[in-house]
Amino acid sequence: MAKMFAQSAEKQLKWLYGLQSSGVKLGLDNIRHLLRRMGDPQKNFRTIHVAGSDGKGSTCAILASVLRASGYRVGLYTSPHIIRFNERIQIDGVPISDEDMAFFASRVRHFADDMRESDINCTFFEVTTAMAFDYFERNKVDIAVVEVGMGGRFDATNTIVPDVCVINNISLEHREYLGDTIEKIAFEKAGIIKPGVPVVTMNPEPALGVIADVAEKNGSPLTVVPSDIEVTENLPDGPSFVWEGSRYHVAIPGRNEAKNAVIALTALRMLPDYGERISGHVAEGFSDVVWPCRLQDMGNGYLVDVTHTNAGSVGLAADISEIYGKVVIVFGLLDDKDVEDISRNLSAVASKMVVTAPDCPRAKPMEKTYEVVRKYFPDAESVHGVAKAIERADELRGEGEKVLICGSFYMAEEALRWMGRTSL
């Protein structure tokens, strides 16, 4: 029986990944059509919707952790995954099983195949989103925390009407789809705002002005969270901070996680049941949150981080400097990322740098990354393959020095797979 389920899961995953050849198609017609055929499962549970360029995944994890601590049955939908597809769809912190993944993929496939016969081709993300909503409804979650995949206005997740919208930090990303200015990208992110639904953000100008304008047009109350949060300790297991007279510790490393925690707390306060059910469990949810590969200490001197934007690398470099001093960095990026700024930021906290490229068709060629990195770190080395790059970093590091593998989710995946094959 187990073998049959495994084969079924493998078959459905192959079909799902085959949909990636359709690429990215921004728009809501397909997903609305698909969900309508499935009975609009997304209408049958409460949601919190989270957009942004940096920190949205952490914010989702924190929200889900506090809600779980408060006794809710909580769905969590995020992307991308690191090791397994199942990570994207969770209930109460547990990823969807292979058996359920195969079952819900086959359910969506039935409707998607019917649509294909009418020349309506669903994308990988549309189908995955429909799977998540179907899974959450059938498993009777009380509330689901839903992360936007890309942008917001035309993202497949924008078929929900949430209890509250969160728009985390906005930076220049996915310019070919979202626009080439902060204002244009902010407009796309603000597309998740629904009439009358509260909005929470910490964005400064110029993004704030765009968000405020969209919120006003929708009659949506906007709460702007101050960014001057008092971090009392920035430790390897996460920051401790003071907010409105209360002390908290959030168990995801990095100063910016204190900001994400405060954004999450502000969003939770918008829920009608905050006072009677949630407020007493905030500290517990913060301290129990699990969110992998955010400056995560894997043991044996390895750190893994998935930061891949300029703004994210600024925060990552500051945290490394404060917590670890300098580290040996293994670095590779995808081709659409800002190699110039990220290289400059990370080189400032590197004792040594080893440049590589993840095994992915979208990876930036190692030679191109290396050419830029050497401008900021002339002694950088380049090594083909993430595993061999980590092994070279091992040879270069000094006594007690950490090795940081970073640059993309694909870098993290290969690092974790390599660690699983070693004695770590």
For residue 119, what are the contacts with CB-CB under 8 A and spacing of at least 6?
none
How far, in whole angstroms, is CA 207 from its chain's centroid? 20
Instruction: Answer yes or no: is pLDDT of 176 > 80.
Output: no
Q: Where in the chain is the domain with CATH 3.90.190.20?
A: 296-421
Asked if omega into 162 is within 30° of 0 (cis), the reply is no
Confidence at residue 4, expressed as pLDDT on a 0 to 100 scale:
44
Q: What is the pLDDT of residue 175?
A: 66
The mean pLDDT of 17-32, rounded to a whole number, is 85
Does the pLDDT at position 277 exceed 90? yes
Residue span(s) of the chain under CATH 3.40.1190.10 come to 2-288
Band of residue 125 on the pLDDT scale cut at 50, 70, 90:
very high
Residue 178 pLDDT greater than 90, yes or no: no
Nearest of 311, 296, 239 to residue 83 by alpha carbon: 296
Q: CB-based contacts of 55: which residues, under 8 Å, 6+ apart? A: 168, 169, 256, 257, 259, 260, 263
Find tokens 């393959």 and name the residue. 385
Residue 68's CB is within 10 A of a number of other CB atoms, namely: 20
- Residue 271 banded pLDDT, cuts 50, 70, 90: very high
Binning pLDDT at 50, 70 and 90, where does residue 171 land?
A: confident
Question: CA-to-CA distance for 201 and 419, rounded, in angstroms?
Answer: 37
Q: Which residue is it, tokens 């590091």? A: 397
In the predicted model, is pLDDT for residue 6 greater than 60?
no
- Confidence label for 174 from pLDDT (cuts 50, 70 and 90): low
* Mean pLDDT (whole number) for 88-98: 98
* Mean pLDDT, the chain, whole residue set: 94
> What's the pTM value of the predicted model, to 2 decimals?
0.95
Residue 373's nearest CA partner among 404, 399, 405, 338 is: 338
CATH topology of domain 296-421: Protein-Tyrosine Phosphatase; Chain A (3.90.190)
Strand, coil or helix: 224? strand
DSSP secondary structure of 114-179: HHHTTT----HHHHHHHHHHHHHHHTT-SEEEEE-SSSSTT-TTTT---SEEEE-B--S--HHHH-
The per-residue pLDDT for range 36-86, each reduced to its tens digit, is 999 999 999 999 999 999 899 999 999 999 999 999 999 999 999 999 999
pLDDT beyond 70 at 103? yes
pLDDT over 90 for what percent of the chain? 89
Residue 143 has φ and ψ, to the nearest 5°, of -155, 145
Average pLDDT over residues 145-173: 95
- CATH class of segment(s) 2-288: alpha beta
- CA-CA-CA-CA torsion for 393, 395, 398, 402, nearest 10 degrees? 30
**In this model, does residue 393 exceed pLDDT 80?**
yes
The pLDDT tens digits of the residues spanning 323-362 come to 999 999 999 999 988 899 999 999 999 999 999 999 999 9
